[in-house]
Amino acid sequence: MSKRNTQQRRHAIVTMVTEKSEVSVDELAKFFATSEVTIRKDLAALEKNGLLLRRYGGAIAMPSEMVTEVEEHVSVRKLAIARAAAARIRDHNRIIIDSGSTTAGLISLLGDKQGLIVMTNSLSVANALNELENEPTLLMTGGTWDPHSEAFQGQVAETVLRSYDFDQLFIGADGIDTARGTTTFNELIGLSRVMAEVSREVVVMVESSKIGRKIPNLELPWDSISTLITDSGLSDQARQEIEHYGVQVICAPDDQV
């Protein structure tokens, strides 16, 4: 089978898992003529979006009775996080919005902010910002397109960022290691660190379900993070561990969405 782009391949993987109930990484890599590393990244992204469940060596279909419940639960919590993050943005702020579904939730809440300057490395974020009636000034990093993160990465993007300074960075994470910081499946972490370097406040937006996921790639250490915004599912112990590093923790209540 010829190679497909990332979105097409992931859509096909969901279809295969649904039809067969279970598939292996090896089977998928051979079928799509791609590497096992790529397939594992696909499965991680699909699990993150609630479309399947990973198992050792492969993945299984999401039980049908869980699909609606998971989607509704996630959307409510992401919106709560986005509202808490948007409340921190003042008129005329210079901000960075990193790629990701949680950070993208910010955009619809920026319509009443005046004079914003917004930098992003995501085409989807840029397109959504361009639709706002208040017309924030839009900046893009440029760089090398990374199909895994669906965003621009690389040295060109890093150089562009270093030409500016920003009030705030809003960034997500694949996981939170309470002893180290944010973690990610993506090995391209250079741009995230430059984003943090050029921002006076670094705001991590992440659902509580990701806290405690010790993914190998450390993205931002705690000493680079100012604020963590999550939902009401955060445990008291995890909160204390994170606050120990001087990070402000905000738990957005679901009932105010």
Q: What is the pLDDT of residue 117?
A: 96
> How many Å from the N-terminal Cα to the C-terminal Cα in the chain?
45
- Supply the CATH number for residue 16's domain: 1.10.10.10
Q: Strand, coil or helix: what is 202?
A: strand
Q: What is the pLDDT of residue 44?
A: 84
Summarize pLDDT for 141-196 with one digit per residue, the tens.
999 988 777 789 999 999 999 999 999 999 999 899 999 999 987 777 899 999 99
Q: Are residues 39 and 159 in the same domain?
A: no
112, 93 Cβ separation under 8 angstroms: no
Number of domains in the chain: 2
**Confidence band for 68, pLDDT divided at 50, 70 and 90:** very low
Which of 144, 164, 165, 166 lies closest to 155 in space, CA to CA?
144
Angstrom CA distances, 23 to 5, 57, 131, stand at 20, 9, 40
Decide which of 62, 81, 98 is a domain's last residue: 62
Q: Are residues 23 and 89 in the same domain?
A: no
Q: Are residues 248 and 216 in the same domain?
A: yes
Q: What is the pLDDT of residue 217?
A: 87
| Residue ranges making up the domain that contains 48 | 6-62
Q: Are residues 181 and 78 in the same domain?
A: yes
